[in-house]
Structure 1
Amino acid sequence: MIPQPSSGALDGGIHRLMARVYFEDTDTAGIMYHAKYLHFMERGRTEYLRVGGIDHGAAVKAGLGAYAVTEMQIKWLRPARLDDVLSIETRLLGVRAAACRIAQRILRDSETLTEATLTAAFLDPAGRPRRQPAEWIARFNLLMPQDA
């Protein structure tokens, strides 16, 4: 049997994905490079969709469209370091016809290292905004935390 990568877990509307900081993620001092946080957040959003039952990859392959980050506010609070085990938290803040508003945090144990809010628009293959599939909107509404 071939082991499968973990997609994380969804609990109370918050998705958590664990990831380790590797040497390739750091500078020579062993501190995670600032752009790598965006990579980790992208993985968190992708796995959130997967665990939530939304097949983003199939939509891309079928020519339906894809999500693209159109806006992000991010704050780096503490550095991640080589070999740290991080938790990437993703939660939906709101859903509209052609976009989602998402909050993300990267934590080491209980310490928040980075926090961001962003808008991900659903785009057609030509890069124009388009309505998300109705079943995805319904699923997002079920996945939304009660406090959102």
Structure 2
Amino acid sequence: MTASPFDTPYRGGFVGAHHHFALTVYFEDTDTAGIVYYANYLKFMERARSDMLRSVGIDQRAAKEDGIGVYAVAEAHVRYLRPARLGDDLVIVSSVEQVRAASVHIHQRVMRGAEHLADGRITAAFLGPDDRPRRQPREWVDRFHRLSED
């Protein structure tokens, strides 16, 4: 069997300094009222952040396996503005706001076309194999700085 373009998972990408990650709202994402359950916005944002890291060349799995460390959400603030509904096509727009020695602050917007549905500010701490905060690899910090300066 030959591979087709449909055998490859969707990947987002950058438009300037903003990473765009598209997804569709499925039945499993909604509550009994037919709107996206509030906690699922955090899942959507997590997928987008993970894809953003992959897009800048950060392999979290390899970093964990090599004993370098991993990112963990230390703080999340989400403001819900409008509900998303079953069948909606959404785009999560992510941008690096601030880079510190052991953390990165990311702003994320959940959009339905031009309509702003949710606004998130996430602090991801970098943890060593001992689960304690540690400095991020210098090349990762440099990549984030380049993104936040665009």
Q: Same fold (TM over 0.5)?
A: yes
- Residue 145 (structure 1) shift: 4.4
Identify the range of structure 1 (115-124 vs 57-66) with the bigger mean alpha-carbon deviation: 57-66
Amino acid of the structure 2 residue aligned with 1:20: T
Amino acid of the structure 2 residue aligned with 1:110: A
Q: Alpha carbon RMSD of aligned pairs, Å?
A: 1.1
- Residue 126 (structure 1) shift: 2.1
- Give TM-score, length-normalised by structure 1: 0.94
| 3-state SS in 2 of match to 1:5 | coil
Gaps of 5+ in 2: none
Q: Distance in 1 between matches of 2:37 and 2:99?
A: 31
Contact map agreement 1:68 1:120 (CA 8 A) in 2:
yes
Point out the structure with the larger helix share. 2
Aligned to 1:14: 18
Gaps of 5+ in 1: none
Pair 1:34 & 2:38 matched: yes
Q: Distance in 1 between matches of 2:148 and 2:10?
A: 22
Pair 1:132 & 2:136 matched: yes
Q: Distance in 2 between matches of 1:78 and 1:66?
A: 32
Q: What is the 5 A alignment of 1:1-148?
A: 1=3, 3-146=7-150
Q: Distance in 2 between matches of 1:106 and 1:129?
A: 29
Pairs aligned (count) = 146
Q: Distance in 1 between matches of 2:149 and 2:85?
A: 30
Q: Which runs of 4+ in 1 moved over 6 A?
A: none
Q: What is the identity percentage for the equivalent residue pairs of Structure 1 and Structure 2?
A: 50
- Give TM-score, length-normalised by structure 2: 0.93
Q: Distance in 2 between matches of 1:22 and 1:112?
A: 19
Q: Per the alignment, do residues 59 and 33 of structure 1 end up closer, same or farther by CA in structure 2, a change over 3 Å counting?
A: same
